[in-house]
Amino acid sequence: MIRLPRSLKVQVVVAIGVLSGLFAASALYSMHVIDQQHSDDALLQLGTRLQYHLEHLAVQAMHYRDNAPRDYPSYNRDLRLYFADLKRTRNELAKLVRAFTERRFDHQVMGEEMAMAPQLPVACYPLADRLTQAWQKFSIGLDERLGGDMDEPRLEWGAEWIVEHRQGLEQAISELIDTMEAEVQTRAEWANQLNRLMLTFALLVAGGIAWWFYWRILKPMATTVEGFRIVANGDFAHRVPVVSDNEIGALAGAFNQLSGRLDALRRLLTGLEQDSDLGGTLLTLSHTLPDLLPLDWIGVLVVGADGRIHLQHALSDGKPDTVGQLSFTAEGTLLAECIETRQPLHIADVAATAEMSSHFVFLRELLSLGRRDALFLPIGATGGVEGVAVFASRYPNSYRSDHLELLRNIGVLVGVSLGRTIQLAENERLATIGQFASGIVHEIRNPLATINLALEHMEAQEDLSAGSSRRVSLASREVDRLERLLSEILLYARPLVLTRDRHAMSALIKDVVDAEPDAADRVTLDCAACTDIWIDRDRMRQVLINILRNALQAAPPGEIVRVSCSTPEPNTLTILIHNGGEAIPKEMLPRLFEPFVSLKNDGTGLGLPIAERIVRAHGGEIGIQSTREDGTTVTVRLPRGEIARPVDQAADAG
């Protein structure tokens, strides 16, 4: 059984080759038939020439016999005319008879070069031999009648012989011509019939190839094109049948893979949009990502406030993995490298990589779970939640280059979604803590007020000893500090509501400086670039007081604090507050806006977080730069115009 090639390119080439070969063979055979008919016509013309020359010979003989010369001069004239014509005609007849006898018809006989030399039909062979015999008999008898002297032949006797004995030669020629005509006609009919059969077969094959081309190429391609149209219209679940194992089948298979991945991405997006907790998000990923890349273990690790990496949640084969609590330092780990570079990281051989460093604690844990190949995907963003999503497979070399490319394409989506989910969970936790803190603040304030009244009563007593008076004074200061702390906790925990109006920033800055004790001699102002701005004056005053007070406390005695404004962009006002002194430790800079992180012994750690919250509610941003050479600069950037006013809605919802 012949096995057809599966490659569509080869099939098409073979089909075109077969079709071209058939039509070429038919065309060549048609040309052969034309050449054959031309040679047959030439052969029949030879027979006609035989008849013509014999008829000419007979007519001349009859004329000579009826008009035989009676004197010698007339005889000499006939030698020059009739006898010369007789010899010429006889030689021509002899040449033609010899051609039929030898079955050789060259250009000397035919008088021209022919594409195909005439072929005497086999059935004519006996008749050609009979013609030869008749010609020999006729020719011998003619020679005898003419006599042996060719200078003075007996022309009258020769003429009588020709007239009386030409019937036998005529009959032989006639039988030969009739047979040739019949054979040539038969051969022409057979050739034409074969030619029609070849053309019919070629047309049938062409029709079959056209049918094959339609059903095996055009129809599957049309189905695939229609599938692309359906998927382009949004039906990602659509699939097309794979009806062949050639390139069209491969195209249909690739289309199904593409639509499957698009459908998986749709389900992934839908799931990520609906999930609000980390467990649900990971469950969605574990159910949809296997359609896109190999996956049987997924986990999320997050960098905590202590700088260590913690395993938040993990799933194995779609079920919660009882891997326990994992916590380890980030320094020297591939997880930290992934977070720093913000690029996916492929661990092709977990076993070999885990042995490369003692810091690779998580890889050894992953290896103990039976996973041999892993992908690290950074989640979150700088300044927010930071961590790594880990996708792993128990089979080595599971992730190919196309999986890595796919992960790079959807990595931002998955990473941001996981970071958002973790951040939402953290926000919910903080909201709960805020509600709890608000309740605690109210519960503490009542007894604290009672304690403060008792201390004031004790301070009013005149018989207190010096030691008791110092202790009461110290207790009063601690009560004031607790009251300030409770106020800041309450301010940080409450929803932030802004009441904006148009204010002159230069006047606000001057008011803040004038209200701060000992600030007049230690602060220089450059408010020429300050413009009117839409702000909540009381909230922004609180921000400036907090920053200015921190700057004055951090500046060495006699050091000047500089406050200036600039407009580097048309719709932005930038406020710079600079002080000298010791630089803030580099590792503390990213944490200054975290709650309860403070560089002062008596600080609450809520001043800068509250300031950042207020600035962001205005649609602005705040940053701190600090070096030993240049000192510390706090930069507050605020939008200038009314375009910032819709941010109040977001602040109200906060």
Q: How many residues does the chain have?
A: 654
Tokens of 2: 């012949």
Render 550-583 in DSSP notation, one character per residue: HHHHHSPTTPPEEEEEEEEETTEEEEEEEE-SSP
Contact 264, 287 (CB under 8 A): no
Tokens of 617: 């509610």
Intra-chain end-to-end CA distance of the chain, in Å: 78
Render 606-619 in DSSP notation, one character per residue: -HHHHHHHHHHHTT
Q: Where are the domains of the chain?
A: 11-210, 275-411, 497-653
pTM of the model: 0.45
Neighbours of 199 (CB within 10 A): 16
3-state SS, residue 524: strand
Give me the average pLDDT of each 10-residue run along the chain (654 residues).
58 82 83 84 87 88 79 72 85 88 82 80 89 90 81 82 88 89 88 85 87 84 84 79 77 77 70 65 76 82 77 83 73 84 85 86 86 85 69 86 75 66 58 61 69 73 74 74 67 72 87 81 84 86 87 84 85 88 82 76 74 86 88 88 43 38
* Residue from 563, 586, 545, 572 nearest 633 by CA: 563
Contact 371, 394 (CB under 8 A): yes
Bridge partners, 327 (sequence order): 310
Dist CA 610 CA 606 (whole Å): 6
Neighbours of 294 (CB within 10 A): 18
* pLDDT (0 to 100) of residue 643: 39
Burial string for 264-273 (b: 16+ CB within 10 Å, else e) reads bbebbeebbe
Tokens of 362: 């998580």
* pLDDT (0 to 100) of residue 324: 60
Dist CA 434 CA 335 (whole Å): 32
What would the pLDDT profile of 238-254 be if each residue is shown by its tens digit?
888 887 777 777 777 87
Dist CA 589 CA 551 (whole Å): 15
3-state SS, residue 184: helix
Helices (H), 355-465: 361-368, 401-459
Dist CA 413 CA 153 (whole Å): 122
The fold of 497-653 is Heat Shock Protein 90 (3.30.565)
- Beta strands 561-569 and 327-329 are unpaired
- 275-411: CATH class: alpha beta
* pLDDT (0 to 100) of residue 305: 65
* pLDDT (0 to 100) of residue 133: 92
Count of CA atoms in the C-beta half-sphere (13 A) of 634: 25
* pLDDT (0 to 100) of residue 649: 38
Task: Name the amino acid, one letter, at 628.
Answer: R
- Beta strands 386-393 and 373-380 are antiparallel
